[in-house]
Amino acid sequence: MSTDLRTQRRHNALGFCTKELCSALFVSGRSRAAAMADLDTICERFAGGALAPAEIEFTVDSASVTGRLPDGATRRAVADGIRGARLVTEGPGAGPAPRREPDPRPWPLGDAAAEKPGYDATRAAVREHLRATGARGVAVVHHGELVVEEFAPGFGPRTPTRGWSTAKTLTALIVDHLAGEGRLDPEAPAYRDITWLDLLRLRSGLAVRRFEDGSPEMLSDADDYFAMYVRPVSVERLVASARVEAAPGKLFCYKSIDHLTVALALRPVLGDDVHGQLTRTVLPALGLRHSVLETDTDGVPLLCGAWYTTPGDLARIGARVTDAMRSAPPVTEVAGPVAMRHPYGTSVWLDPDGHLGVDHPGICYALGSLGQAVFVVPGEGLVIARTALEPRSRHAGLLRAVLGALPRNP
């Protein structure tokens, strides 16, 4: 690896770590010591050992984090109120993200779990999963009721953590909600001649430079896939610079540019303040109570994966996906022959090939890096939501454990 390439990766990893620490402190509300411990896993997963967090000198004030390397490289992130945290070149922060008080009403209107008999085995299975893995919170919804909600030490129902690409499924639900209000047509063009559905099904034909995990170019300046996570960027510029690789609807490719394009295309629908409209009206309409969308330098939400959420809110997404499975077209309509290893629908993963190892037809699920997952098992009336931080996700084990521990006659 050239010295220049190594320096690029180190500096971009510095930006990544600085912003993640800022979000952990001012969005999740975690202690500095706990947040610092997470950076090792994050840096190893995305920077491939190019930088050790211990090399970074962090300065934290009331609304920002500055990271500095021995070579003088500096990156700064600010807490931006309801917009979470973001990397900046200059300017003050607005302060920590506001926290909502717990609502004593039963889930999903409030935050309270149902006190139902028969779920002791389910609760025990969830607690063992939390003990044995990097999971941080698990919510189990059965026949429309939150029957189990458990957390690892240091986490709770009001501690949002990064949801990563589960945001893609949220994006599909946002579009579905706006379509239900008559504000857009999913089959109409959203950007150029690309329809909303083509974007949500990752078959826009747009392409950006992306390097394989572990390659020496990953997290370099040439890596467009991670650009929005490692330095101040404009979604509008990223989308404008994407090249056309295929006609819309012809080629599936898992990438973030499609959901970023959705965020940009929402401007004519919602107005210039897309983030504000989503936060004030759409997220509440979806029932999300403790989630925070982060943005680019222009305030456009990074709907590809920069959001903070809780198991309870992820479970609400699962419940909404259950409803969307009955819509036309359903979210579980396969978008392409095979997406990477497994079939993909409208921003959800599918299991017709049985790769999850359970005999339950119709399962679909949302996934995010480092272990985030939402499983929807329609035949059981079941939703399982999981937040985590682990280099190798063990979410499928949770699915099997919960299915094996459900009461037969709840």
Q: What is the pLDDT along the chain (410 residues), one digit of tens a residue?
A: 577 988 999 999 999 999 999 999 999 999 999 999 999 999 888 887 789 999 999 999 999 999 999 999 999 999 999 999 999 998 878 889 998 888 999 999 999 999 889 999 999 999 999 999 999 999 999 999 999 999 999 999 999 999 999 999 999 999 999 999 999 999 999 999 999 999 999 999 999 988 877 788 888 899 898 999 999 999 999 999 999 999 999 888 889 999 999 999 999 999 999 999 999 999 999 999 999 999 999 999 999 999 999 999 999 999 999 988 877 666 667 555 444 456 888 999 998 888 888 989 889 999 999 999 999 999 999 999 999 999 888 999 999 999 999 998 76
The tally of domains found in the chain comes to: 3
Strand ranges in 154-238 using DSSP code E only, listed in sequence order:
161-162, 189-191, 194-195, 206-207
pTM of the model: 0.95
Q: Alpha helix locations (H) across 249-357?
A: 257-265, 267-270, 274-277, 283-285, 311-324
- DSSP three-state, residue 280: helix
Looking at the structure, do residues 121 and 67 belong to the same domain, yes or no? Answer: no
Looking at the structure, do residues 314 and 405 belong to the same domain, yes or no? Answer: yes
Is residue 147 domain-resident?
A: yes
Distance CA 326, CA 376 (A): 13
> Token pair 């499975």 is at which residue?
325
**Tell me, what's the pLDDT at 337?**
45
Given a contact cutoff of 8 angstroms between Cβ atoms, the answer to whether 373 and 395 are in contact is yes
Is residue 303 domain-resident?
A: no
Candidates 69, 121, 55, 64; CA nearest to 88 is 64
Candidates 377, 407, 397, 381; CA nearest to 121 is 407
Contacts of 282 (CB under 8 A, 6+ apart): 174, 177, 178
**Tell me, what's the pLDDT at 212?**
76
Looking at the structure, do residues 273 and 202 belong to the same domain, yes or no? Answer: yes
Q: How many CA atoms lie within 13 A of 332 on its CB side?
A: 21
Task: Indicate the residue among 31, 53, 88 that finishes a domain.
Answer: 88
**Tell me, what's the pLDDT at 339?**
47
**Tell me, what's the pLDDT at 338?**
45
Crossing angle for the helix pair 32-47 and 3-26, nearest 10 degrees? 150
**Tell me, what's the pLDDT at 63?**
95
> Token pair 């779990």 is at which residue?
113
Task: Indicate the residue among 68, 88, 108 that finishes a domain.
Answer: 88
Q: Tell me, what CATH number does 268's domain have?
A: 3.40.710.10
Looking at the structure, do residues 279 and 189 belong to the same domain, yes or no? Answer: yes
Is residue 247 domain-resident?
A: yes
CA angle 57, 12, 88 (to 5 degrees): 75
Looking at the structure, do residues 84 and 122 belong to the same domain, yes or no? Answer: no
**Tell me, what's the pLDDT at 354?**
85
- DSSP three-state, residue 173: helix
User: CA quadruple 232, 278, 386, 36: dihedral positive or negative?
Assistant: positive
> Which residue range(s) make up the domain with 387?
99-159+310-410
Contacts of 67 (CB under 8 A, 6+ apart): 14, 15, 17, 18, 21, 56, 57, 58, 74, 75, 76
User: CA quadruple 140, 141, 146, 147: dihedral positive or negative?
Assistant: negative
Task: Indicate the residue among 252, 287, 322 that finishes a domain.
Answer: 287
Given a contact cutoff of 8 angstroms between Cβ atoms, the answer to whether 295 and 275 are in contact is yes
Is residue 299 domain-resident?
A: no
Is residue 164 domain-resident?
A: no
Please give the radius of gyration of the chain, using alpha carbons only, rounded to the nearest integer: 20
Looking at the structure, do residues 106 and 83 belong to the same domain, yes or no? Answer: no
| Cα diameter, the chain | 63
**Tell me, what's the pLDDT at 1?**
59
329 preceded by a cis bond (ω within 30 of 0): yes
Question: Which contacts of 129-132 are long-range, i.e. CB under 8 A and separated by 24 or more positions?
Answer: 129/394, 129/397, 129/398, 129/401
**Residues belonging to the chain:** 410
- DSSP three-state, residue 312: helix
